[in-house]
Structure 1
Amino acid sequence: MKIAIFTDTFLPQVNGVTNTLRRFGEYLKANHIDYIFVTPEQKSESDLPYNIEAFLSTPFFLYPECRLTFPNLIRLNKRLDAFGPDIIFTMTEFTMGLCGLNYGKTHNIPVVSNYSTNFSTILKSYKLGVLEKLTDKYLAWFHQEATRTVTPSVESEKILKKLGVLRTGIFGRGIDFDHFSRDKRSVQLRKELGLEGKLGLLYVGRLSHEKDLDVLRDAMQLLNHTYSDRIQLVITGEGPMENELKKTMPDNVVFTGYKRGEALAEIYASCDIFAFPSSFETFGNVVLEAFASGLPVVGVNKGGVKTLIDPGYNGFLVEPNDSEAFAFALERLIVGDIMRHQFGTRGRNYAKGKSWDAVFNTLLEDFATIIHDYERLPELELKSYYQEKNSIA
Structure 2
Amino acid sequence: MKVLQYFENPGLISRSGIGHAQRLQQEELSYTDIVLDTSPFSKDYDLIDVNTYGPKSLAMVAKARLQNRKVVYHAHSTYEDFRNSFIGSNFLSKPFKKHLIKAYRQADLIITPTPYAKSLLRSYGLKQPIVPISNGVRVSSYRRNKSKIIKFRQFLNLKENDKRKIIISVGLYFQRKGIMDFVELARRNPEHLFVWFGYTDLRIIPKKIRETVKKDHPDNCVFAGYITGDVLQGAYSGADLFLYPSYEETEGIVVLEALASSQKVLVRDIPVYNDWLHDGFDCYKASNLDEFDKRLNEILAGKVKNVSKAGHEVALKRDVSLIGPQLKKAYEEALSLPSQESR
Sort the TM-score into its range (normalised by shorter chain): 0.7 to 0.9
- In the alignment, which residue of structure 2 is the partner of 1:2? 2
1:237 and 2:237 matched: no
TM-score (norm 2): 0.87
Pick from 169, 172, 181: which aligns with 2:131? 169
1:101 and 2:101 matched: no
Matched positions, count: 329
- In the alignment, which residue of structure 2 is the partner of 1:190? 153
Pick from 281, 303, 326: which aligns with 1:362? 326
Superposition map of 1:42-121 within 5 A: 52-53=39-40, 79-81=41-43, 84-121=44-81
Q: Any idea what SS the aligned residue of 1:88 has?
A: strand
Conservation of the 8 A alpha-carbon contact between 1:156 and 1:303: no
Q: Any idea what SS the aligned residue of 1:248 has?
A: coil
CA distance in 1 between counterparts of 2:123 and 2:28 reads 33
Superposition map of 1:284-299 within 5 A: 284-299=252-267
Q: Which runs of 5+ in 2 are unaligned?
A: 203-208
TM-score (norm 1): 0.76
CA distance in 2 between counterparts of 1:294 and 1:129 reads 36
Report deviation, 1:33: 3.3
Distance 1:140 1:359, change over 3 A: same
Distance 1:220 1:306, change over 3 A: farther
Q: Any idea what SS the aligned residue of 2:140 has?
A: coil
**Identical pairs, percent:** 21
Q: Any idea what SS the aligned residue of 2:141 has?
A: coil
Conservation of the 8 A alpha-carbon contact between 1:154 and 1:170: yes
CA distance in 1 between counterparts of 2:275 and 2:264 reads 15
Superposition map of 1:1-393 within 5 A: 1-11=1-11, 13-28=14-29, 31=32, 33-37=34-38, 52-53=39-40, 79-81=41-43, 84-125=44-85, 126-167=87-128, 168-184=130-146, 186-187=149-150, 189-190=152-153, 193=156, 194=158, 196-222=162-188, 224=189, 228-229=190-191, 231-239=192-200, 240=202, 241=209, 244-319=212-287, 322-336=288-302, 339=305, 342-373=306-337, 377=338, 380-381=341-342, 383=343
**Structure with the greater alpha carbon radius of gyration:** 1
Q: 1:36-84 CA distances to partner (integer Å, 9 max, x unpaired)?
A: 22xxxxxxxxxxxxxx44xxxxxxxxxxxxxxxxxxxxxxxxx333xx2
CA distance in 2 between counterparts of 1:266 and 1:247 reads 26
Relative contact order higher in (CA < 8 Å, ≥ 6 apart) = 2
- In the alignment, which residue of structure 2 is the partner of 1:67? none
CA RMSD, Structure 1 to Structure 2 (Å):
2.4
CA distance in 2 between counterparts of 1:284 and 1:379 reads 32
CA distance in 1 between counterparts of 2:123 and 2:152 reads 46
